[in-house]
Amino acid sequence: MNDLTPEFQILKKGLEADYQRLKNRIRVLRAQDPFSDPNRANDNAASDTEATEESDHDRAEALVAELEAQLSQVIGALQRLETNSYGICVICSRMIEMNRLKILPTAIMCSTCEKTQQERQ
């Protein structure tokens, strides 16, 4: 295991907790999705029930997609911690400000590069 600074160790613990929270939330949402019921196709539900299930499914899918995007960012941050590239801006290769990492531990750019990227969009 890498020798992490105490600050990075704290951030890693937070990222690991975020990982577990996101995985659990995704699992719960998928279980609550009406389309996950194998008997759903054979239930002969009324059209209003069908519409509600369709809406609930769409909502669950949208939430799962957002949570999976967040999970991907968390996994990336944990991988960067393992490869000693965590906290280094992918644009300018300078260290990302610790205050920024404390607020957004999945950050891949320093504040300056992030601002420049946003101005270009």
What are the domain boundaries of the chain? 1-86, 88-121
- The pLDDT of 18-32, averaged and rounded, is 96
**Predicted TM-score (pTM) of this structure:** 0.82
Q: Name the region of 89 (left: φ>0; alpha: ψ -120 to 50; beta: rest).
A: beta
Q: Please choose, from the candidates 90, 82, 69, the residue with its C-alpha nearest in 3D space to the C-alpha of residue 18.
A: 69
HSE (side-chain half, CA atoms, 13 Å) at 49: 8
Quick one: pLDDT at residue 39?
Answer: 58
> Residue 40 pLDDT > 60, yes or no?
no
Dmax (CA) for the chain in angstroms is: 60
Q: Do residues 74 and 23 lie in contact, with contact meaning Cβ atoms separated by under 8 Å? A: no
> Residue 45 pLDDT > 70, yes or no?
no
- The pLDDT of 21-41, averaged and rounded, is 81
Q: What is the mean pLDDT of the chain?
A: 89
Q: How far is residue 85's CA from residue 108's CA, in Å, rounded to a whole number? A: 10
Q: How far is residue 45's CA from residue 42's CA, in Å, rounded to a whole number? A: 8
Residue-wise pLDDT tens digits, 77-94 = 999 999 999 999 999 999
Q: Please choose, from the candidates 53, 19, 20, the residue with its C-alpha nearest in 3D space to the C-alpha of residue 39.
A: 53
Quick one: pLDDT at residue 70?
Answer: 98
Task: With cut-offs at 50, 70 and 90, classify the pLDDT of residue 95.
Answer: very high
